Chains A and B, each alone.
Chain A
Amino acid sequence: MNDIIKHDVIIIGGGLAGMRAALEVCDNHDVAIVTKVHPVRSHSGAAQGGIAASLGNTSEDDYEKHMFDTVKGSDYLGDQDAIEILVKEAPENIIELEHFGTPFSRLDTGKIAQRPFGGHSEPRACYAADITGHVLLHNLYEQIVKKGVKIYSEFYVLDIILEDNICRGLVAFDLTTGKLHTFHSKAVMFATGGYGRAFRITSNAHANTGDGLSIVYHAGLPIEDMEFVQFHPTGLYQQGILVTEGARGEGGYLINKDGERFMKRYAPNMMEIAPRDIVSRSIQTEINEGRGIDGKDYVHLDIRHLGKEKIMTLLPQIHELALDFVGVDCIEAPIPIQPTAHYSMGGIPVNIDGNVICDENETKVTGLYAAGECSCVSVHGANRLGCNSLLEAVVYGRRTGKFMNEFLKTAKHEKLPEKPTEKIEEKISKLLNTTGNESPAKIREELQEIMFRKCGVYRTEVDLKDCLQTVKKLQERFKNVKIEDHTRTYNTDLIETIELSHLLDFSEVIVQGALSRTESRGGHSRVDFPKRDDANWLKHTFAFRTENGPRFTYKPVKITKFQPQERKY
């Protein structure tokens, strides 16, 4: 049961950040990707609208404008040193991807096409129709294949081996065989994506259960800014499936039951392409005040005026999704949409080299790295701008790879504990032999429902306290969980239950963090504290696990070029 697999670096997750990092390392060191879904199944592929860079192909643009837009979009919680790196390195990263073969859409000049996107003052979203994430994911997979990077596909990581603040490897479960394996490495990198599956209405894949950050939290390390969850304005009604912001970037309207383009009352200048937190709140306000379509909890996204040709050229996937999942032909009729849990601003705290840190003083954890949505560097602060997530995955994936290369020059395989899999084997045996009677599906459903209703677009103390109490009750019930499948071969009952344990653990951190933060900033909107409070809350939340729930400390925001000011669009 305890075969030890040895590599220099193990990257957990085969999405954009993980594969980009692997490409950076593979020429110099022995790297392997360990991932619970095959790389091309990763959720990076669901990103639609674009990837931001100030190429200036259609307007005068530069990285400083991109930087200001991102800082302002983050509601000044983003760390400006990290943001500067993101935007400065953006153009060269895009060019590199293009040279790898990414099929970007083109201008008549033959250059990469760019479209307007929420919160960006210039059209800087580089795109491939509305399948940008898909083409990037497949392009990086092609490069991984070309380089022959070793992939452990459908291996589910259960724990990291961390002793004396040094990461020595990890323990993973081969889904196909049900065997546990110890991976011994000089460095481990998390690239495991977001945590949107804590909410009932979400654009996230079933796989997005925040496993990575939950493992880190359990290992005694902090997780950062978990209360900041982005609700994307346009999820397909009741499904939550993403409808790209590109639909509004290309000119789509948001319409309430009175036929009004209501964004003029909330963001008179940017209208429908104001940042996502603002548009989501506007939609939610329309719904709450009875102006949803037919008085229900959705409004319309109308792109009919773009015309068939433009829709089929620029937004073909939207046409397909609306038709297949809500039965609407968006050439003929408006699309019913509602805000949907979309992006996790919080995550595993890292420094600007992608090295995981274990406290608010940025003390490094030796050999442990993270990048992409699972991490918090923090370039998105309290609210991410559209097109900056693919960008972060690529820029910080590559950057983290570079710093791992440096680290690996002198690093060695550190000693493993005697029985690295013992604790995990016990946990699995216990779950497989459980005699409980609580259905994991019911617990998950109740969790997702309460998180969406009480810890969603708008939050209040009363709701959050209620939510926290429910989450704690669900955690108690989980102790009595029942798994029906007692076999080892591709036991998805077991995996879903372990994923649920992650959801329950970090949901408590989200709610508690939201309860503590008595202000409104970006994606965190407290009805009872409607103003941003820079005097008290211009700081990052660090949550440490204790037996009695999370313990919070705070870390100042790095401000370099732009002092906080009122955020208007």
Chain B
Amino acid sequence: MEVTFKIHRFNPEKDEKPYYKEYTVEVQKGVTVLDCLNQIKWYQDGTLAYRRSCRSAICGSCAMTINGINRLACKTQVLHLKSNTITVEPLPKFRLIRDLIVDMDSFFEKLEKTKPYLITHTPAPEKEYYQSPEDRKKIDDPINCIMCGACTTSCPTTWTNNDYLGPAAFNKAYRFVADSRDEGKEEHLDAVNDENSGIWRCHTITNCFDACPKKIDITKYIGKLKMKLASF
């Protein structure tokens, strides 16, 4: 099937403002959006710029907005989109660097604010900390996060509030709050409790859950963080 890709283009050295350029690609079953971007870059237009690496949905490089929804280009099959025209844009909100590439520094900086590491106070045992399979199961889902940014940039609060830490950061905080080995739960919770930047600005719109390529139930975990804070 012949598919038209309408791709967001912008090079600050040449362009005053972003524009869309169209490319046509012959697509077969199984072909992903990333495969098509590669085809375009390698055989039609070498100037197209985007991030990609693992092409197996684990490195988180290729999150972008595809037909209006934030997704990983490598995991999105073209024929599943059921459309002859596919619009490809950079993740919203972040500073645009070029074409489909955005500056994700602020995303990682916000993550850092949640003290995203295991906090312990008692001396570590000689061997591993014991953790029951049931306790380990509590973090099965949130540890899948690949930090692609699809969730955070699909959240309306992110769009309007520059300080908002966002669902990816909250998920990381939850991952430690829910970890039976962690002794710094108050610190993680404190970090997401700010009136302006914290979880209270989440309005349970569930865009984050819908956008997550790993199907992490982020909205639920934000809810759990709220419950924990409310019961403090």
Residues of A within 8 A of B (CB): 37-38, 40-43, 45-46, 94-95, 98-101, 103-112, 128-129, 131, 134-135, 138, 142-143, 145-146, 176, 205-207, 241-242, 317, 320-321, 324-327, 439-441, 445, 483-485, 487-493
Interface presence of B93 (CB below 8 A): no
Is the CB of B185 closer than 8 A to any CB of chain A? no
A490 vs B144: C-alpha distance in the bound complex, in angstroms? 29
Contact indicator B13/A490 (Cβ below 8 Å): no
Whether B53 contacts A325 by the Cβ 8 Å rule is no
Known: A134-B58, A145-B116. A40 touches B146 (CB 8 A): yes
Q: Which of B18-26, B122-130, B151-159, B216-224 contacts A (4 or more CB under 8 A)?
A: B122-130
User: Which listed residue (A43, A111, A326, A489) contacts B54, Cβ 8 A?
Assistant: A43
**Beta-carbon contact of B136 and A103 below 8 Å:** yes
Q: Is the CB of B127 within 8 A of A484?
A: no
**B163-203 vs A: 1/0 string, CB under 8 Å?**
00000000000001001011000000000000000000000
Contact A45–B132 (Cβ < 8 Å):
no
Min distance, Cβ A136 to any Cβ of chain B, angstroms: 11
Quick one: which of B43, B47, B53, B140 has the most chain A CB within 10 A?
A: B53
Complex Cα spacing A207 to B182, Å = 35
8 new A-B contacts at CB < 8 Å, known A41-B60, A43-B54 = A41-B59, A98-B129, A103-B179, A106-B135, A146-B117, A207-B53, A325-B30, A489-B13
B68 at the interface (CB under 8 A from A): no
- What 1/0 flags go to B100-127 for Cβ under 8 Å of A? 0101100010011001111010001011
| CB-CB under 8 A for A110 and B179, given A324-B77, A487-B14, A490-B101 | no
Min CB distance, A46 to chain B, in Å? Answer: 5
When the two chains form their complex, are residues B98 and A107 in contact, meaning their CB atoms are under 8 A apart? no
Do residues A131 and B13 form an inter-chain contact, with CB atoms below 8 A?
A: no
CB contact under 8 A between A98 and B55, given known A103-B143, A145-B116, A490-B101: no
A100 touches B49 (CB 8 A): no
CA distance A60 to B110 in the complex (A): 45
For B141, the closest partner residue in chain A by CB is A316
Given contacts A105-B136, A110-B130, contact A37 B146 (CB under 8 A): no
**In the complex where A38-B104, A107-B133, A493-B46 touch, is A142 in contact with B117 (Cβ < 8 A)?**
yes
Q: List, in ascending order, chain B residues with CB within 8 A of A101's CB.
A: 117-118, 176, 179, 181-182
Across-interface contacts of A128 in B (CB, < 8 A) = 143
Contacts A38-B108, A145-B116, A489-B12; is A106 near B56 (CB within 8 Å)?
no
Task: List residues of chain B with CB within 8 A of the CB of A205.
Answer: 53-55, 59
Q: Type the 1/0 row for B77-93, where 1 means its CB is closer than 8 Å to any CB of A.
A: 10000000000000000
For A440, what are the chain B residues with a Cβ–Cβ distance below 8 Å? Answer: 46
Beta-carbon nearest neighbor of A203 in chain B: B56
Bound complex: CA A135 to CA B130 (Å): 18
Q: Would you call B206 an interface residue if the criterion is a C-beta within 8 Å of the partner chain's C-beta atoms?
A: no
* Least CB separation from B77: chain A residue: A324
List of B residues within 8 angstroms of A206 by Cβ: 52-55
Per the 8 Å Cβ criterion, residues 8-66 of B in contact with A are 11-14, 29-30, 41-43, 45-47, 49-61
Are B132 and A46 in touch, CB under 8 angstroms? Answer: no
| Residue among A42, A103, A143 making CB contact with B117, cutoff 8 Å | A143
- Distance A488 CA – B14 CA, assembled complex (angstroms): 11
Contacts A98-B128, A441-B42, A488-B13 given; does A106 touch B136 at CB 8 Å: yes
Are B53 and A485 in touch, CB under 8 angstroms? no
Contact A320-B57, Cβ < 8 Å, known A489-B12, A489-B13: yes
Is B204 an interface position by the 8 A CB rule?
no
CB distance from A406 to the nearest CB of B (A): 25
Also in contact, A45 and B45, with CB within 8 A (given A205-B54, A324-B77, A490-B98):
no
Pull 13 A–B residue pairs with CB atoms less than 8 Å apart, ordered by A: A38-B104, A45-B146, A46-B54, A103-B179, A146-B115, A324-B57, A485-B47, A487-B11, A488-B13, A490-B101, A492-B41, A492-B49, A493-B47
Please give the distance in Å from A203's CB to the nearest CB on chain B.
Answer: 8
Contacts of A324 in B (CB 8 A): 57, 75, 77
